[in-house]
Structure 1
Amino acid sequence: MTVSAPPAPPAAQRTPPAPAAPRRRRPIAPYLMVAPLVLVLAGVLLVPLVRLIVVSFQKYGLDQLVGGRPSEWVGLDNYGEVLAAEEFWSSLWHTVRFLVIAVGLTIGLGLLLAHLLAKVSRSVRVIMLLAMVMVWAMPPIIAMPMWRWLIDQRFGVLNYTLFHAGVLPTRSFNWFSSPVTGWTVICAIVVWGALPFVVISLHAALTAVPGELVEAARLDGAGAWRVFTAVTFPAIKPTVLIITVLSIIWDYRVFAQIWLLRDIGANKDTYYTIGIWSYVESFSNKNFGLGAAISLISVVLLGAFSIFAVRSVLRTAQAADAEADAR
């Protein structure tokens, strides 16, 4: 038996299709408000960057800057000279070694001091936070004379104290006569200046760790180290990664602390970082084309690291959010 399909309803009885929703226009006011800031940033950042790129492909010295002589286009010769120079690889090694030591000490000491802040009384915590904020607010160009006085070869308080404590063989000890002691002083000053931000940020992250998770771990018999590795650190891991990335970027750009202290002793080349070498080639040797090439290579290295680091931070944050949702 064949079943026939029901007849279609008349055209007058058919349900008319729903009208399409009108397309909402994006308001233009937010773009107009942001446009001045974007233009200012483009003028402040993009114009010098484009000029730096152009100069890096030229033979540009003092004659071109002051004498008005036309610059000579040399293509990639400046970059080839930089990569072939022994100073580039030695300064890169100094930079990497300095970053590993300074950032490692900053994050390690920052975690210890952040835990200490959580354990002391409120009055002591306020005093410590005020002291760290004062250190953080002090510009390096102002702090360096104080540090030079502390480590002065003849009148330094540090030399006087360590000599009478039997640590130094002589009171007139020059810390920058050896690269080991010189870099030790530089790392100590950089870590001293970076600790306030790290400690305050980590302390804020520690206060956000759920207390019930810590109490549950302690009731299960976990010790202090086990509580930190299994509960506390996973909770603050995204913050630690962000602070580590920021510390690497900031320490990569350290200039004043090294430049103002390296003149104390001999062997100034042993204190070359990428930034110091670029400055020396540009403003001491008046080879602005080579200095621009060094700066651009430095920017590319830091940019590549920043992209990798930001992606790692985003993955960690997404994993933490997924784990929190699963709970």
Structure 2
Amino acid sequence: MSAQIEEATAGGPASRTGKGTAPPPPRRGPGRLAQGTPYLLILPAAAVTVLLLGWTLLKNGLLSFQNLGPRQLIQHLTEWTGTDNYAEQLGSSEFWGVTGRSVVFTLANVVLIMALGCFIGLLLARLGTALRLLLSLGLVLAWAMPVVAATTVFQWLFDQRFGVVNYVLDALGWHSMAGYSWTSGQFSTFFVITVLIVWQSVPFVAINLYAATTTIPKELYEAASLDGAGSWKQFTSVTFPFLKPFFLATTFLEVIWIFKSFTQVFAINEGGPDRLTETLPVYAFQEGFGSQHFGMGAAVSILTIVILLALTAYYLRLVLKQEEDEL
């Protein structure tokens, strides 16, 4: 009897054979090496980015605290001025005038780019295969054209004597436009620059919007059609809410690209006439290389970066707020 009790308490014959129902040992999580693999993979790209951008930004920041001109360059002098360059710019009405002009210029371009880009993107979604392919090819070619080449083409188009634009307007009855100089006034120069930038930027928004619309379930549009929603109502009730993250990200990218655009503004008229079309990047170049005061130009460029960082912080705040609302 005692042997049977001992056998029962020990788990019976199964315990003697080692085939009991003991729980399996706990599984170990991934090792430290596996957890650190993603960071090791991005380390080369991060190192190159820090080397190429971080070092340049550091040198530019140090230069902004110096008085560096032709004399200092020739004599290899380093004259530290502290925050004098920043104080002079922040106390200058010219700097704030250029800043306000840059903000208005960026706002106007971004509104036009997003409106036209969304319209063309939605048009791509409704066209047939052949027309969609043809329009997409034209957008890609416009987008792929180098900035300097595109700027040169627009200089020819709006040329005072031989420009196609003046010729067409004259032929249509606007005879006063024959021989009109588009770069002689502030608003006309900004008009040419805006047309150029919008023409270059719309393809990015249109193609990406079309690609994003392909991810929207067709059942949502069918339900909206059954409810009697037209094209505009479908856009506001289906497309826009579904693609709101896309609109936020694209608008943010366009704000950065337009705000820091230099080539188009400088190549059209070098910020003229009378420096009335200078934006902050062109203003920084003119203060640095034009006036041979490189420390001052570096200070303006750092202030431009600070403004862009403020815009980035505002964008990230919007994104985080949107994620909190969705949760």
**Same fold by TM (over 0.5)?**
yes
Residue 49 of structure 1 is aligned with which of 57, 60, 78?
57
Runs of 5+ unmatched residues, structure 1: 1-17, 323-327
**Post-superposition shift, 1:117?**
0.8
Q: Distance in 1 between matches of 2:200 and 2:66?
A: 38
In 2, distance between residues paired with 1:123 and 1:23?
51
RMSD: 2.2
Change (3 A) 1:74 1:123: same
Task: Pick one of 196, 202, 214 that aligns with 2:209.
Answer: 202
Superposed CA deviations along residues 75-110 of structure 1, whole A, max 9, x for unmatched, are 111001111222211111111111111000000001
Q: 1:270 aligns with which of 246, 267, 276?
A: 276
Contact 2:142 2:203 in 1 (8 A): yes
Identical positions, percent: 37
Specify the code of the residue in structure 2 equivalent to 1:150. Answer: L
> Are residue 279 (structure 1) and residue 285 (structure 2) matched?
yes
- Who is 1:299 aligned against? 305
Query: Structure 2: any 5+ residue segments left out of the alignment?
Result: 1-24
What does 1:32-71 align with in structure 2 at a 5 Å threshold? 32-65=40-73, 67-71=74-78
Cα deviation, residue 30, structure 1? 5.0
Distance 1:151 1:216 in 2: 48
SS of alignment partner, residue 33 of structure 2: coil
Alignment partner, residue 265 of structure 2:
258
Residues 253-310 of structure 1, C-alpha deviations (whole Å, 9 max, x = no match): 11111101115x9524111111000001111111011111101110001011112112
Query: How many aligned positions are there?
Result: 303
Report whether the alignment pairs 1:154 with 2:145.
no
Q: Please point out which of 310, 316, 326 is paired with 2:322.
A: 316
Task: Find the counterpart in structure 1 of residue 227 from structure 2.
Answer: 220
Larger mean CA deviation between 219-228 and 126-135 belongs to 219-228
Instruction: Report the more deviating stretch, 79-88 or 166-175.
Output: 166-175
* TM-score w.r.t. length of structure 1: 0.86
Structure number, greater radius of gyration? 2
SS of the equivalent of 1:59 reads coil
Q: Which amino acid aligns with 1:273?
A: T
Match of 1:143 in 2: 150
| Partner Cα distance (1:108, 1:186) in 2 | 18
Question: Displacement, 1:37?
Answer: 2.9
Shift of 1:21: 6.1
